[in-house]
Amino acid sequence: MAESLITREQFLERYEKFDAPTSDAAVGSVLATADQREVGSGPLEGVAVLIKDNIEAIGLPGTAGSLALLPYPATRDAELVSRLRASGADIVGATNLSEWANIRSTRSASGWSAVGGLTGNPWKLDRSAGGSSSGSGAAVAAGLVSLAIGSETDGSIVCPASLNGVVGLKPTVGSIPVHGVVPISKSQDTPGPLSTDVRLAAVAFEVMSQTSGAVAAVDNASQLIKTLRIGVAQSWLTGHTETDAVFEETITAISKIVASVDKSDVPAAGDEEHTDEYTVLKCELKDDLATYLRDRLGEHPLNSLQAVVDFNREHADKELQHFSQEIFEAALTTEGRDSDHYRAARRRNLTWAIDRVFNPAFEKHDLLVAPAYGPAWKSDLIIGERGAGGVSTTAAAIAGYPLLCLPMGLVQGMPVGFVISGLAGDESRMLALGAELMKQLGTRPEDGFAPAFRQPTRG
Protein backbone atom coordinates (compact mmCIF):
# COMPACT_ATOMS: atom_id res chain seq x y z
CA MET A 1 0.00 0.00 0.00
CA ALA A 2 1.22 3.50 -0.80
CA GLU A 3 2.18 5.35 2.36
CA SER A 4 -0.15 8.25 1.55
CA LEU A 5 -3.29 6.09 1.57
CA ILE A 6 -5.28 6.20 4.79
CA THR A 7 -5.40 3.15 7.08
CA ARG A 8 -8.03 2.02 9.60
CA GLU A 9 -6.16 3.58 12.51
CA GLN A 10 -5.90 6.92 10.72
CA PHE A 11 -9.56 6.73 9.73
CA LEU A 12 -10.69 6.21 13.32
CA GLU A 13 -8.56 9.13 14.51
CA ARG A 14 -9.87 11.45 11.79
CA TYR A 15 -13.45 10.29 12.26
CA GLU A 16 -13.34 11.33 15.91
CA LYS A 17 -11.76 14.66 14.98
CA PHE A 18 -13.86 15.72 12.01
CA ASP A 19 -16.97 13.58 11.53
CA ALA A 20 -18.44 12.25 14.77
CA PRO A 21 -21.33 14.21 16.37
CA THR A 22 -18.99 15.22 19.20
CA SER A 23 -16.21 16.43 16.88
CA ASP A 24 -15.38 20.06 16.14
CA ALA A 25 -16.63 19.83 12.55
CA ALA A 26 -19.28 17.07 12.80
CA VAL A 27 -19.43 16.58 9.03
CA GLY A 28 -21.73 13.58 9.50
CA SER A 29 -20.50 11.60 6.51
CA VAL A 30 -20.20 8.26 8.31
CA LEU A 31 -23.45 6.46 9.12
CA ALA A 32 -21.82 3.45 10.85
CA THR A 33 -18.38 2.02 11.53
CA ALA A 34 -17.38 -1.62 11.11
CA ASP A 35 -15.07 -3.99 12.95
CA GLN A 36 -12.06 -5.31 11.07
CA ARG A 37 -12.53 -8.53 9.12
CA GLU A 38 -10.14 -10.89 7.40
CA VAL A 39 -9.19 -9.71 3.93
CA GLY A 40 -7.02 -10.87 1.07
CA SER A 41 -3.88 -9.45 -0.42
CA GLY A 42 -3.79 -7.17 -3.41
CA PRO A 43 -3.57 -3.62 -4.71
CA LEU A 44 -5.77 -2.16 -1.94
CA GLU A 45 -4.08 -3.99 0.93
CA GLY A 46 -4.52 -2.06 4.18
CA VAL A 47 -6.48 0.79 2.57
CA ALA A 48 -9.43 2.00 4.65
CA VAL A 49 -12.57 2.07 2.48
CA LEU A 50 -16.03 3.43 3.25
CA ILE A 51 -19.06 2.20 1.31
CA LYS A 52 -22.37 3.91 0.69
CA ASP A 53 -25.05 2.49 2.96
CA ASN A 54 -27.14 1.20 0.06
CA ILE A 55 -24.43 -1.44 -0.48
CA GLU A 56 -24.57 -4.58 1.65
CA ALA A 57 -21.53 -5.53 3.73
CA ILE A 58 -21.44 -7.87 6.71
CA GLY A 59 -21.16 -5.81 9.88
CA LEU A 60 -22.89 -2.76 8.41
CA PRO A 61 -26.56 -1.69 8.26
CA GLY A 62 -27.20 -1.47 4.51
CA THR A 63 -30.25 0.74 5.13
CA ALA A 64 -30.21 3.05 2.09
CA GLY A 65 -30.77 5.61 4.85
CA SER A 66 -34.24 4.27 5.64
CA LEU A 67 -35.51 3.31 9.09
CA ALA A 68 -37.48 0.54 7.38
CA LEU A 69 -34.29 -1.47 6.79
CA LEU A 70 -32.51 -0.53 10.02
CA PRO A 71 -33.71 -3.63 11.97
CA TYR A 72 -32.34 -5.92 9.24
CA PRO A 73 -28.57 -5.32 8.89
CA ALA A 74 -26.70 -6.92 6.04
CA THR A 75 -25.95 -10.62 6.45
CA ARG A 76 -23.91 -10.91 3.26
CA ASP A 77 -21.38 -8.96 1.25
CA ALA A 78 -22.43 -7.45 -2.04
CA GLU A 79 -20.32 -8.92 -4.82
CA LEU A 80 -18.36 -5.70 -5.23
CA VAL A 81 -17.58 -5.72 -1.48
CA SER A 82 -16.27 -9.29 -1.75
CA ARG A 83 -13.99 -8.14 -4.56
CA LEU A 84 -12.76 -5.19 -2.50
CA ARG A 85 -12.01 -7.40 0.51
CA ALA A 86 -10.20 -9.92 -1.71
CA SER A 87 -7.96 -7.07 -2.92
CA GLY A 88 -6.97 -6.28 0.68
CA ALA A 89 -9.37 -3.36 1.23
CA ASP A 90 -10.37 -2.78 4.85
CA ILE A 91 -14.08 -1.86 4.92
CA VAL A 92 -14.17 0.52 7.89
CA GLY A 93 -17.74 1.76 7.71
CA ALA A 94 -20.75 2.95 5.75
CA THR A 95 -21.44 6.46 4.51
CA ASN A 96 -24.61 8.47 4.83
CA LEU A 97 -26.58 9.18 1.67
CA SER A 98 -29.64 10.89 0.32
CA GLU A 99 -32.29 8.44 1.53
CA TRP A 100 -33.19 5.73 -1.01
CA ALA A 101 -30.54 7.32 -3.27
CA ASN A 102 -32.65 10.46 -3.71
CA ILE A 103 -35.58 8.81 -5.50
CA ARG A 104 -38.25 9.43 -2.82
CA SER A 105 -39.20 13.08 -3.36
CA THR A 106 -38.60 15.98 -5.73
CA ARG A 107 -38.13 18.22 -2.67
CA SER A 108 -35.54 16.12 -0.88
CA ALA A 109 -32.34 17.65 0.47
CA SER A 110 -29.19 15.90 -0.69
CA GLY A 111 -27.31 14.22 2.12
CA TRP A 112 -30.28 13.73 4.47
CA SER A 113 -31.54 10.35 5.59
CA ALA A 114 -33.72 9.34 8.51
CA VAL A 115 -30.96 7.02 9.73
CA GLY A 116 -27.93 9.27 9.26
CA GLY A 117 -29.28 12.80 9.48
CA LEU A 118 -27.76 15.54 7.31
CA THR A 119 -24.23 15.35 5.91
CA GLY A 120 -22.35 18.64 5.68
CA ASN A 121 -19.79 19.77 3.15
CA PRO A 122 -16.24 19.86 4.63
CA TRP A 123 -15.39 23.02 2.69
CA LYS A 124 -18.21 24.90 4.42
CA LEU A 125 -20.36 23.00 6.85
CA ASP A 126 -23.72 24.54 5.97
CA ARG A 127 -23.32 23.75 2.27
CA SER A 128 -24.66 20.66 0.52
CA ALA A 129 -22.44 17.61 0.16
CA GLY A 130 -24.39 16.70 -2.97
CA GLY A 131 -26.12 13.43 -3.55
CA SER A 132 -26.98 10.81 -3.43
CA SER A 133 -23.48 9.53 -2.55
CA SER A 134 -23.21 12.46 -0.16
CA GLY A 135 -21.26 10.85 2.66
CA SER A 136 -18.87 9.12 0.26
CA GLY A 137 -17.82 12.41 -1.31
CA ALA A 138 -17.68 14.31 1.99
CA ALA A 139 -15.67 11.59 3.75
CA VAL A 140 -12.98 11.61 1.08
CA ALA A 141 -12.85 15.43 1.03
CA ALA A 142 -12.61 15.54 4.82
CA GLY A 143 -9.62 13.20 4.76
CA LEU A 144 -11.34 10.39 6.65
CA VAL A 145 -10.44 7.91 3.91
CA SER A 146 -8.64 7.98 0.59
CA LEU A 147 -11.33 5.87 -1.08
CA ALA A 148 -15.09 5.52 -0.74
CA ILE A 149 -17.64 3.72 -2.88
CA GLY A 150 -20.81 5.37 -4.09
CA SER A 151 -23.46 4.61 -6.67
CA GLU A 152 -25.07 6.59 -9.48
CA THR A 153 -28.33 6.45 -11.36
CA ASP A 154 -28.15 10.00 -12.71
CA GLY A 155 -25.59 12.31 -11.10
CA SER A 156 -25.20 10.58 -7.73
CA ILE A 157 -21.40 10.16 -7.98
CA VAL A 158 -20.68 13.18 -10.17
CA CYS A 159 -22.60 15.60 -7.94
CA PRO A 160 -20.86 14.83 -4.61
CA ALA A 161 -17.50 14.58 -6.38
CA SER A 162 -18.00 18.05 -7.82
CA LEU A 163 -19.38 19.71 -4.68
CA ASN A 164 -16.76 18.18 -2.37
CA GLY A 165 -13.78 18.61 -4.69
CA VAL A 166 -12.81 14.95 -5.13
CA VAL A 167 -12.48 12.46 -7.98
CA GLY A 168 -15.60 10.48 -8.85
CA LEU A 169 -15.88 7.75 -11.49
CA LYS A 170 -19.29 6.61 -12.68
CA PRO A 171 -18.39 3.46 -14.66
CA THR A 172 -20.21 1.92 -17.60
CA VAL A 173 -23.45 0.35 -16.42
CA GLY A 174 -22.92 -3.40 -16.04
CA SER A 175 -19.15 -3.22 -15.61
CA ILE A 176 -19.44 -3.57 -11.81
CA PRO A 177 -21.95 -6.05 -10.33
CA VAL A 178 -24.96 -4.60 -8.53
CA HIS A 179 -26.06 -7.70 -6.62
CA GLY A 180 -26.40 -6.61 -3.01
CA VAL A 181 -26.93 -2.96 -3.90
CA VAL A 182 -30.30 -1.37 -3.13
CA PRO A 183 -31.62 -0.50 -6.60
CA ILE A 184 -33.47 2.23 -8.39
CA SER A 185 -33.03 1.19 -12.01
CA LYS A 186 -31.25 -1.81 -13.50
CA SER A 187 -30.85 0.20 -16.71
CA GLN A 188 -29.01 3.09 -15.08
CA ASP A 189 -27.58 2.04 -11.67
CA THR A 190 -23.85 1.52 -11.23
CA PRO A 191 -21.49 1.60 -8.23
CA GLY A 192 -18.26 3.53 -8.54
CA PRO A 193 -15.33 5.00 -6.59
CA LEU A 194 -14.82 8.45 -5.08
CA SER A 195 -11.20 9.11 -4.17
CA THR A 196 -8.45 11.59 -3.52
CA ASP A 197 -6.77 10.99 -6.87
CA VAL A 198 -7.40 9.50 -10.28
CA ARG A 199 -4.96 6.60 -9.98
CA LEU A 200 -6.67 5.29 -6.86
CA ALA A 201 -10.02 5.50 -8.64
CA ALA A 202 -8.49 3.45 -11.47
CA VAL A 203 -7.24 0.81 -9.01
CA ALA A 204 -10.66 0.57 -7.36
CA PHE A 205 -12.36 0.35 -10.75
CA GLU A 206 -10.11 -2.51 -11.83
CA VAL A 207 -10.74 -4.36 -8.56
CA MET A 208 -14.53 -3.98 -8.66
CA SER A 209 -14.87 -4.65 -12.40
CA GLN A 210 -12.20 -7.35 -12.51
CA THR A 211 -10.69 -5.75 -15.59
CA SER A 212 -7.26 -4.35 -16.41
CA GLY A 213 -5.86 -1.45 -18.36
CA ALA A 214 -7.11 1.55 -16.38
CA VAL A 215 -4.11 1.80 -14.06
CA ALA A 216 -1.65 1.34 -16.91
CA ALA A 217 -3.43 4.10 -18.81
CA VAL A 218 -3.06 6.48 -15.86
CA ASP A 219 0.60 5.56 -15.46
CA ASN A 220 1.22 6.38 -19.14
CA ALA A 221 -1.23 9.24 -19.35
CA SER A 222 1.01 11.91 -20.86
CA GLN A 223 1.70 9.77 -23.93
CA LEU A 224 -1.76 8.23 -24.24
CA ILE A 225 -3.69 11.50 -24.33
CA LYS A 226 -1.57 13.23 -26.97
CA THR A 227 -3.79 11.92 -29.77
CA LEU A 228 -7.16 12.67 -28.14
CA ARG A 229 -9.72 14.86 -29.88
CA ILE A 230 -11.78 16.63 -27.23
CA GLY A 231 -15.29 17.97 -27.78
CA VAL A 232 -16.50 20.83 -25.61
CA ALA A 233 -20.22 20.38 -24.87
CA GLN A 234 -21.34 24.00 -24.88
CA SER A 235 -24.98 23.11 -24.25
CA TRP A 236 -23.96 21.38 -21.01
CA LEU A 237 -22.68 24.53 -19.27
CA THR A 238 -24.00 25.10 -15.74
CA GLY A 239 -25.45 28.57 -16.27
CA HIS A 240 -23.48 29.69 -13.21
CA THR A 241 -21.27 32.47 -14.57
CA GLU A 242 -18.21 31.98 -12.36
CA THR A 243 -18.23 28.20 -12.71
CA ASP A 244 -18.47 28.37 -16.48
CA ALA A 245 -15.59 30.87 -16.49
CA VAL A 246 -13.40 28.40 -14.55
CA PHE A 247 -14.41 25.77 -17.10
CA GLU A 248 -13.20 28.00 -19.94
CA GLU A 249 -9.84 28.34 -18.16
CA THR A 250 -9.73 24.56 -17.81
CA ILE A 251 -10.29 24.17 -21.55
CA THR A 252 -7.24 26.36 -22.13
CA ALA A 253 -5.22 24.02 -19.90
CA ILE A 254 -6.53 20.88 -21.59
CA SER A 255 -5.74 22.23 -25.07
CA LYS A 256 -2.02 22.08 -24.17
CA ILE A 257 -1.99 18.32 -23.51
CA VAL A 258 -4.25 16.80 -26.21
CA ALA A 259 -4.35 16.75 -30.01
CA SER A 260 -7.34 19.05 -30.47
CA VAL A 261 -10.13 20.83 -28.65
CA ASP A 262 -13.24 21.89 -30.55
CA LYS A 263 -16.81 22.81 -29.73
CA SER A 264 -19.38 20.03 -29.91
CA ASP A 265 -23.02 20.66 -30.75
CA VAL A 266 -24.38 17.85 -28.54
CA PRO A 267 -27.88 18.74 -27.33
CA ALA A 268 -28.97 19.06 -23.73
CA ALA A 269 -31.92 17.04 -22.49
CA GLY A 270 -35.29 18.73 -22.88
CA ASP A 271 -38.62 18.25 -21.15
CA GLU A 272 -39.48 15.16 -23.20
CA GLU A 273 -36.20 13.41 -22.36
CA HIS A 274 -36.54 14.18 -18.66
CA THR A 275 -40.16 13.02 -18.64
CA ASP A 276 -39.24 9.75 -20.34
CA GLU A 277 -36.36 9.16 -17.93
CA TYR A 278 -38.67 9.82 -14.98
CA THR A 279 -41.12 7.27 -16.38
CA VAL A 280 -38.36 4.69 -16.79
CA LEU A 281 -37.04 5.22 -13.27
CA LYS A 282 -40.50 4.96 -11.68
CA CYS A 283 -41.34 1.76 -13.53
CA GLU A 284 -38.00 0.10 -12.86
CA LEU A 285 -38.02 1.20 -9.22
CA LYS A 286 -41.34 -0.51 -8.63
CA ASP A 287 -40.08 -3.82 -10.03
CA ASP A 288 -36.40 -3.73 -9.05
CA LEU A 289 -36.88 -2.70 -5.42
CA ALA A 290 -39.44 -5.47 -4.87
CA THR A 291 -37.06 -8.04 -6.39
CA TYR A 292 -34.23 -6.79 -4.19
CA LEU A 293 -36.27 -6.81 -0.96
CA ARG A 294 -37.50 -10.35 -1.58
CA ASP A 295 -33.93 -11.49 -2.27
CA ARG A 296 -32.62 -9.85 0.89
CA LEU A 297 -35.51 -10.45 3.31
CA GLY A 298 -37.31 -13.46 1.89
CA GLU A 299 -41.00 -13.65 2.83
CA HIS A 300 -40.77 -10.75 5.28
CA PRO A 301 -43.70 -8.29 4.95
CA LEU A 302 -41.27 -5.54 3.89
CA ASN A 303 -41.01 -7.01 0.40
CA SER A 304 -42.33 -4.32 -1.93
CA LEU A 305 -42.35 -0.61 -2.65
CA GLN A 306 -45.90 -0.48 -1.27
CA ALA A 307 -44.64 -1.89 2.04
CA VAL A 308 -41.97 0.82 2.22
CA VAL A 309 -44.55 3.53 1.48
CA ASP A 310 -46.78 2.14 4.24
CA PHE A 311 -43.85 2.07 6.67
CA ASN A 312 -43.05 5.70 5.94
CA ARG A 313 -46.66 6.71 6.58
CA GLU A 314 -46.67 4.84 9.88
CA HIS A 315 -43.41 6.55 10.90
CA ALA A 316 -44.12 9.92 9.33
CA ASP A 317 -42.80 11.86 12.32
CA LYS A 318 -39.28 10.67 11.46
CA GLU A 319 -39.39 9.58 7.83
CA LEU A 320 -41.56 12.35 6.40
CA GLN A 321 -40.58 15.20 8.72
CA HIS A 322 -38.79 17.20 6.00
CA PHE A 323 -40.25 16.03 2.69
CA SER A 324 -42.70 13.49 1.44
CA GLN A 325 -42.57 10.43 -0.85
CA GLU A 326 -44.47 11.51 -3.92
CA ILE A 327 -42.06 9.75 -6.31
CA PHE A 328 -42.58 6.45 -4.47
CA GLU A 329 -46.33 6.98 -4.63
CA ALA A 330 -46.17 7.84 -8.33
CA ALA A 331 -44.12 4.69 -8.99
CA LEU A 332 -46.86 2.61 -7.36
CA THR A 333 -49.35 3.82 -9.98
CA THR A 334 -47.23 2.41 -12.84
CA GLU A 335 -47.41 -1.08 -14.30
CA GLY A 336 -43.64 -1.52 -14.01
CA ARG A 337 -41.59 -2.73 -16.94
CA ASP A 338 -44.40 -4.84 -18.36
CA SER A 339 -46.19 -1.97 -20.05
CA ASP A 340 -46.21 -0.25 -23.42
CA HIS A 341 -45.82 3.08 -21.62
CA TYR A 342 -42.51 2.00 -20.09
CA ARG A 343 -41.18 0.39 -23.26
CA ALA A 344 -41.97 3.44 -25.38
CA ALA A 345 -40.34 5.82 -22.89
CA ARG A 346 -37.19 3.71 -22.65
CA ARG A 347 -36.98 3.39 -26.44
CA ARG A 348 -37.31 7.15 -26.95
CA ASN A 349 -34.74 7.81 -24.23
CA LEU A 350 -32.16 5.50 -25.80
CA THR A 351 -32.78 6.85 -29.30
CA TRP A 352 -32.15 10.37 -28.04
CA ALA A 353 -29.06 9.59 -25.94
CA ILE A 354 -27.33 7.26 -28.38
CA ASP A 355 -28.49 8.33 -31.84
CA ARG A 356 -28.82 12.08 -31.27
CA VAL A 357 -26.22 12.80 -28.61
CA PHE A 358 -23.35 10.33 -28.53
CA ASN A 359 -23.07 8.73 -31.95
CA PRO A 360 -22.84 12.04 -33.88
CA ALA A 361 -20.50 13.55 -31.29
CA PHE A 362 -18.08 10.64 -31.28
CA GLU A 363 -17.73 10.65 -35.03
CA LYS A 364 -15.72 13.86 -34.52
CA HIS A 365 -14.39 13.55 -30.97
CA ASP A 366 -12.85 10.90 -28.72
CA LEU A 367 -14.20 12.33 -25.45
CA LEU A 368 -16.59 15.10 -24.43
CA VAL A 369 -16.00 17.57 -21.59
CA ALA A 370 -18.27 19.90 -19.63
CA PRO A 371 -18.58 21.51 -16.21
CA ALA A 372 -20.40 19.46 -13.58
CA TYR A 373 -22.19 21.69 -11.06
CA GLY A 374 -21.85 25.17 -9.65
CA PRO A 375 -20.49 25.59 -6.11
CA ALA A 376 -22.35 23.81 -3.34
CA TRP A 377 -25.59 25.49 -2.33
CA LYS A 378 -26.74 25.88 1.25
CA SER A 379 -28.48 22.80 2.61
CA ASP A 380 -32.17 23.49 3.09
CA LEU A 381 -34.47 20.89 4.63
CA ILE A 382 -37.52 23.10 4.02
CA ILE A 383 -37.17 24.13 0.38
CA GLY A 384 -34.83 21.41 -0.91
CA GLU A 385 -32.27 21.63 -3.72
CA ARG A 386 -31.48 24.93 -5.44
CA GLY A 387 -28.21 24.22 -7.26
CA ALA A 388 -26.87 24.98 -10.72
CA GLY A 389 -25.63 22.48 -13.29
CA GLY A 390 -26.02 18.74 -13.59
CA VAL A 391 -26.74 18.94 -17.31
CA SER A 392 -23.78 16.76 -18.23
CA THR A 393 -25.01 13.61 -16.47
CA THR A 394 -28.35 12.90 -18.15
CA ALA A 395 -27.39 11.50 -21.55
CA ALA A 396 -24.73 9.24 -20.03
CA ALA A 397 -27.18 8.08 -17.37
CA ILE A 398 -29.74 7.04 -19.97
CA ALA A 399 -27.19 5.38 -22.27
CA GLY A 400 -25.34 3.69 -19.39
CA TYR A 401 -22.07 5.35 -20.42
CA PRO A 402 -19.21 6.33 -18.07
CA LEU A 403 -18.42 9.74 -16.57
CA LEU A 404 -15.39 11.00 -14.70
CA CYS A 405 -15.62 14.07 -12.46
CA LEU A 406 -12.59 15.82 -11.03
CA PRO A 407 -11.99 19.17 -9.31
CA MET A 408 -11.10 21.99 -11.69
CA GLY A 409 -10.80 24.84 -9.18
CA LEU A 410 -12.61 27.02 -6.67
CA VAL A 411 -15.48 29.49 -6.92
CA GLN A 412 -15.85 31.71 -3.85
CA GLY A 413 -13.84 29.22 -1.87
CA MET A 414 -15.92 26.19 -2.91
CA PRO A 415 -14.83 23.46 -5.35
CA VAL A 416 -16.37 23.01 -8.79
CA GLY A 417 -16.01 19.94 -10.98
CA PHE A 418 -15.04 19.07 -14.54
CA VAL A 419 -16.76 16.14 -16.30
CA ILE A 420 -15.25 13.85 -18.93
CA SER A 421 -17.77 11.79 -20.89
CA GLY A 422 -17.05 8.75 -23.07
CA LEU A 423 -18.62 5.73 -24.68
CA ALA A 424 -19.11 2.37 -22.97
CA GLY A 425 -15.73 0.98 -21.92
CA ASP A 426 -13.89 4.30 -22.28
CA GLU A 427 -12.85 4.45 -18.61
CA SER A 428 -9.12 4.04 -19.30
CA ARG A 429 -8.86 7.00 -21.68
CA MET A 430 -11.02 9.13 -19.42
CA LEU A 431 -8.92 8.33 -16.37
CA ALA A 432 -5.70 9.04 -18.26
CA LEU A 433 -6.96 12.45 -19.32
CA GLY A 434 -8.21 13.18 -15.82
CA ALA A 435 -4.90 12.28 -14.20
CA GLU A 436 -2.86 14.52 -16.47
CA LEU A 437 -5.35 17.38 -16.23
CA MET A 438 -5.30 17.42 -12.42
CA LYS A 439 -1.51 17.85 -12.59
CA GLN A 440 -1.98 20.83 -14.90
CA LEU A 441 -4.69 22.39 -12.72
CA GLY A 442 -3.00 21.83 -9.36
CA THR A 443 -6.15 20.33 -7.83
CA ARG A 444 -4.57 17.27 -6.21
CA PRO A 445 -4.31 16.93 -2.41
CA GLU A 446 -0.53 17.17 -2.67
CA ASP A 447 -1.03 20.54 -4.37
CA GLY A 448 -2.84 21.82 -1.29
CA PHE A 449 -6.37 21.43 -2.65
CA ALA A 450 -8.23 20.67 0.60
CA PRO A 451 -11.26 21.86 2.59
CA ALA A 452 -11.19 24.38 5.42
CA PHE A 453 -14.19 23.16 7.49
CA ARG A 454 -15.59 26.70 7.57
CA GLN A 455 -18.50 27.31 9.93
CA PRO A 456 -21.92 28.50 8.70
CA THR A 457 -22.35 32.16 7.79
CA ARG A 458 -25.13 34.38 6.54
CA GLY A 459 -25.64 34.71 2.81
User: Is position 156 annotated as part of the catalytic site?
Assistant: yes
> pLDDT of 19-45, one tens digit each?
999 998 999 999 999 999 999 999 999
Q: Which spans in 298-388 are helix H?
A: 305-314, 316-319, 326-332, 340-350, 359-364
Domains in the chain, start-ordered, CATH in brackets? 8-225+370-447 (3.90.1300.10)
343, pLDDT greater than 90: yes
448, pLDDT greater than 70: yes
> pLDDT of 218-262, one tens digit each?
999 999 999 999 999 999 999 999 999 999 999 999 999 999 999
Phi, psi of 365, deg, nearest 5? -130, 155
305, pLDDT greater than 80: yes
Tell whether pTM > 0.75. Answer: yes
Size of the chain in residues: 459
Coil/strand/helix, residue 111: coil
Which position among 134, 136, 151, 156 bears the catalytic label? 156
362, pLDDT greater than 60: yes
Mean pLDDT of the chain: 97
Which position among 29, 108, 132, 151 bears the catalytic label? 132
Which position among 52, 124, 170, 282 bears the catalytic label? 52
> pLDDT of 139-155, one tens digit each?
999 999 999 999 999 99
| Cβ neighbour number for residue 322 with a 10 Å cutoff | 18
Separation of alpha carbons 87 and 69, rounded Å:
29
Q: Give the single-character DSSP code of 104.
A: S
- pLDDT category at 2 given cuts 50, 70, 90 is low
